[in-house]
Amino acid sequence: MGKLPADARKAAGQRVNALKMAVEKAFEERLAAMAKAARDADLSATPFDLTLPGRAPARGHLHPTSLVREEMLGIFRDLGFVVASGPQVELEENNFGKLGFPPDHPAMDMHDTFWVKPLPHMPDAKVLLRTHTSNVQVREMLSQKPPMAVVSIGPCYRTDEDMTHTPMFHQMEGFYVDKNVSLANLKGVLTELVVRLFGDRKVRFRPSYFPFVEPGCEVDMGCPFCEGVGCRACKGTGFVEILGAGMIHPVVFEACGLDPEVWTGFAFGTGVERPAMIKYGIPDLRLMFENDMRFLAQF
């Protein structure tokens, strides 16, 4: 416009304006036609039933470890046990010392411990990630008066890693302290656990060593994969190991301020993932921690 002679500008301006209005009008008309076409297509499409139920979002469910944890806790609640918890970052004293592990005893090597830097306000304390839930036994005995029947489930940590071991796993600890507790009580309670969790199966008690029990035993149950005939899962023995147990050692009572001449008791400890593997036929423990929906959706 600036380059046009002054007397031609008015006419040119009018033509540009007319063109602009024509373009805008055509644009609006086209837009309205498209909207109408979309609406017509909508109205003439196959009608859908507004009364159909909506699509519900997929429902989640508990992880297999939680399913077994709840089942185990339920069994012990029925048997009159109280549920307690303990810290995962623990003093060496409560994880090993008070449980009768002598300093530098080789039995501690089996626990392949994760040590934690000393706390600033306790520079001399030896601190670790608990290697088992037996620390709850110590803490409860230090803080409660017998008789007591307690179970506790929670994470534990060891530097383990293979098809049946992971660095973090869950354990359940249970113990009963009273007067005149015998091995027969231990056998009764643990047989009940196996039967309620896995159905009617053979249960076998084998002598074994843990520094905090005497006598100590491992408990096996009839192999659920071959019904006791012998297979790869049970290494041909017909039995799979499920927990460690025994009568609470007098040194543990003494370390926790209870008179071993008065009090007796049994204790046991089992993994949670291992029973879940047996219950659901899971071949590799590591699957439990990979959060793969194809695996988790099967429960």
By the criterion CB under 6 A, which residues form the site for ligand FA5? 132, 134, 158, 160, 165-166, 169, 171, 173, 210, 213, 243-246, 267-271, 273-274, 285
* Residue 172 Cβ vs ligand FA5, minimum distance, rounded to whole Å: 9
Task: Match 């590591």 to its residue by tokens.
Answer: 286
Cβ-Cβ contacts under 8 Å for 121 (sequence gap 6 or more): none
* Residue closer to ligand FA5 (CB basis): 169 or 239: 169
The dihedral sign for the CA sequence 22, 24, 30, 35? negative
Least spacing, CB of residue 134 vs ligand FA5, in Å: 4
User: Token pair of 206, please?
Assistant: 């084998």
> Are 115 and 161 spatial neighbours (Cβ–Cβ below 8 Å)?
no
Cis check for the bond before 118: say yes or no (omega within 30 of 0). Answer: no
- Number of residues that make up the chain: 299
Q: Which CB atom, from 7 or from 201, has the smaller least distance to ligand FA5?
A: 201
Picking from 61, 59, 71, 60, the residue whose alpha carbon sits closest to that of residue 279 is: 71
Residue 268: CB minimum distance to ligand FA5, A: 5
Nearer to ligand FA5, 215 or 230 (CB): 215
Distance, in Å, from the CA atom of 137 to the CA atom of 36, rounded to the nearest integer, reads 76
Residue 243 CB, shortest distance to ligand FA5, in Å, is: 6
Q: Which is nearer to ligand FA5, 243 or 258 (CB)?
A: 243
Give all strands of the β-sheet with 115-116 in edge-to-edge order. Answer: 89-91, 127-129, 115-116
Nearest to 176 by CA among 218, 212, 213, 146: 146
Nearer to ligand FA5, 132 or 139 (CB): 132
As given in the structure block, the two tokens for residue 55 are: 């699509």
Residue 11 or 173 with smaller CB distance to ligand FA5 = 173
Q: How far is the CB of 286 from ligand FA5 (least distance, A)?
A: 10
**Residue found under tokens 């040119």:** 12
Among residues 24, 26, 2, the alpha carbon closest in space to that of 12 is found at 2
DSSP states along 102-124 = -TT-GGGGGG---EEPPBTTBTT
Task: Please state the closest distance from residue 298 (CB atom) to ligand FA5, in A.
Answer: 20
C-beta closer to ligand FA5: residue 6 or 163: 163
The least distance separating ligand FA5 from the CB of residue 245, rounded to whole angstroms, comes to: 5
Please identify the residue of the shown chain whose CB is closest to the bound ligand FA5: 271
Compute the radius of gyration of the chain from its Cα atoms. Answer: 35
